[in-house]
Structure 1
């Protein structure tokens, strides 16, 4: 995750090889056209994939274990518990996929190695140009995930019989590393405090939400922003924690076009790349390889057993489409923001808001499209506004997750009203 208030200190570069930059000078002076072709192809491709998956799903085998077997046996089997932790890496998108988590990890390692070797094929530099921090960030996030899984993984609630063990992996631990640098003090402090605060807060708020008919994801993301405030404020006063101003370690590589140049010279190409990179934003990766392999791995899990992914609901096609459309609409709708800034939170609708609505209200195509568009419209501006008001020692993850919570409440209430007033739509 990134912050617009820190954008001056960040360098984002891509890896499109060109022989001569001279022709870009004139292009950069012109107002960039919106990537209508890429947007249209993304929407059409997403819809075609959705209908193909819905047609194919009843015929798929059950080669991979299903979700309920996974949930039951992770309590007693160390191997299943480890698999559960890998699957937690895909939880922000409601995929819950073992192979998706492996794909994310493979893509992240690939992006890190290419960035480290200064390869022109690295695409968007991992971790917003702070690539040297990624191993520390991953270590802190995974350690926090391990602590939560060991402490709370065997707890079962009445509904839905599940505890959100993934919370610190995509929030507090990584935020601490990005604010306090890559070192053992940051790793241990961020992972331990993140684990101890985020999940209990999540469990409490989820209970309140579920008791009042609201989506449990409100509790999940609220545990991130509330826990994040507590932990980051605590770190600010801890004597062994020192805020650092780490300069991005990515530089322009010969034969490489910067992201700023790519946005103006090839908006359609940037659109597709940004949409894929958005799928790794919650993990503080922000790279196309990671997002691509996450999606491919999750699709492979679905092909091997459609009831392995997305909590065994069979709603994975709708969840995938809702997130994809939300990301595409957000990038296209706020294209001028992307042109003006190094970063804009177009990914927040993909995470939690759009897919959660599919889980709660079903995967009819009108619900998918309606919620995807609403999430894309509502969530990014909220995130941007909140982050513009944060203290320097708080990470922008707080604004992102707050926007997810508020957006989910608003969209759920709108759909609940429509459900009561126009029940034939549901």
Structure 2
């Protein structure tokens, strides 16, 4: 279950998850104390909702692992991690603090995304030779639509009047150089899938993943010993995307440069056996497509539907384009 926290970034590593959570809570407490070392505001400026968000994710994750425990015997794998990067956190960020919101987000996460992901992987991805990540992120999108639509009809789910923007904490900070900000933004991209978006969380997660790899190279990264190349591809695609689309970060803005970090870039590495040409091309194509596609799709998202739906849909589109392009080129 602990490893599920970092499986959205393509390495199921308990040490990476410890780093992620330690960094996330460090960023949260630094934000609460108004420290100048807080970095990018945790969870897009929804700091007060962060503990409730983590609570909803943990509850949903525990229940999912218990509910689908019978499908995990004899070394079998199931995408139990999908609740970490989808409905529970999105519901709390939309509707605020409170036990009713926490419980609703957790339950909706359990009943929507994991079953859909398992269904799509078994009946769409596997028969057609499509990377599993496409089915996973498509399930997140469909589950997000179902959950957000359901919340609109639940009488206890009310949007707070003082809600800050869902995104808007990735801005270029004039107090730091462009290069320093770029490094911080790349690190933050590594924790965006978990709705944290902090360089503390992303940086310590990478440290934990590397420590886990040094202890046992076959453990992180699905036993393929490709973690160094996966990390390199992720850093490269994030850096290219941040440089390409940095204008959308200015003036308090935000954009989904993390899309290829958790989808097309690691897929290019794993699907093509760590090929350097696939790594570089996959990172570049993913960076060029991920954020603009997500931004375009976000314009179609109605009110009270979290924009993560657009982001994960962009992951499916970007991954398919990258995978098919590399199959044709290589």
Superposition TM-score, scaled by structure 2 size: 0.94
Are residue 306 (structure 1) and residue 217 (structure 2) matched? yes
Partner of 1:167: 82
Are residue 342 (structure 1) and residue 253 (structure 2) matched? yes
Partner of 1:372: 283
Structure showing greater relative contact order (alpha-carbon pairs closer than 8 Å, 6 or more residues apart)? 1
Partner of 1:116: 32
Partner of 1:274: 185
Q: SS of the residue aligned with 2:160?
A: coil
Alignment of 1:64-103 (within 5 A): 85-103=1-19
Are residue 409 (structure 1) and residue 320 (structure 2) matched? yes
Q: 1:129 aligns with which of 26, 30, 45?
A: 45
CA distance in 2, matches of 1:162, 1:263: 46
CA distance in 1, matches of 2:224, 2:205: 19
Q: 2:272 aligns with which of 361, 380, 393?
A: 361
Q: In the TM superposition, what is the alpha-carbon distance from 1:415 to its structure 2 partner?
A: 1.8
Q: How many residues align?
A: 326
Q: SS of the residue aligned with 2:80?
A: coil
* Larger Rg belongs to: 1
Partner of 1:322: 233
Are residue 195 (structure 1) and residue 104 (structure 2) matched? no
CA distance in 2, matches of 1:280, 1:90: 9
Describe the superposition over 1:15-57 as per-residue Cα deviations: whole angstroms up to 9, x where unpaired: xxxxxxxxxxxxxxxxxxxxxxxxxxxxxxxxxxxxxxxxxxx
Superposition TM-score, scaled by structure 1 size: 0.74
CA distance in 2, matches of 1:157, 1:146: 17
- Contact map agreement 2:264 2:323 (CA 8 A) in 1: no
- Contact map agreement 1:232 1:393 (CA 8 A) in 2: yes
Alignment of 1:1-400 (within 5 A): 85-156=1-72, 161-207=76-122, 208-248=124-164, 260=171, 262-263=173-174, 266-339=177-250, 342-400=253-311
CA distance in 1, matches of 2:324, 2:43: 35
Structure 2 residues without counterparts, runs of 5 or longer: none
Q: In the TM superposition, what is the alpha-carbon distance from 1:322 to its structure 2 partner?
A: 1.1
- Is the deviation greater in 331-340 or in 388-397? 331-340
- Contact map agreement 2:172 2:178 (CA 8 A) in 1: no
CA distance in 1, matches of 2:67, 2:196: 26
Q: In the TM superposition, what is the alpha-carbon distance from 1:156 to its structure 2 partner?
A: 4.6
Q: In the TM superposition, what is the alpha-carbon distance from 1:121 to its structure 2 partner?
A: 1.2
CA distance in 2, matches of 1:282, 1:357: 18
CA distance in 1, matches of 2:301, 2:54: 25
Describe the superposition over 1:213-239 as per-residue Cα deviations: whole angstroms up to 9, x where unpaired: 010111111111100000110011111
CA distance in 1, matches of 2:55, 2:191: 16
CA distance in 2, matches of 1:118, 1:236: 34
Q: Root-mean-square deviation (CA), in Å?
A: 1.9
Q: In the TM superposition, what is the alpha-carbon distance from 1:413 to its structure 2 partner?
A: 1.4
Q: SS of the residue aligned with 2:192?
A: helix
- Contact map agreement 1:168 1:195 (CA 8 A) in 2: yes
Structure 1 residues without counterparts, runs of 5 or longer: 1-84, 250-257, 420-426
- Contact map agreement 2:44 2:197 (CA 8 A) in 1: yes
Q: In the TM superposition, what is the alpha-carbon distance from 1:376 to its structure 2 partner?
A: 0.4
Change (3 A) 1:213 1:398: same
- Contact map agreement 2:172 2:251 (CA 8 A) in 1: no
Describe the superposition over 1:106-135 as per-residue Cα deviations: whole angstroms up to 9, x where unpaired: 101111111111111111111111111000
CA distance in 2, matches of 1:245, 1:152: 38
Q: In the TM superposition, what is the alpha-carbon distance from 1:296 to its structure 2 partner?
A: 0.1
- Contact map agreement 1:263 1:270 (CA 8 A) in 2: no
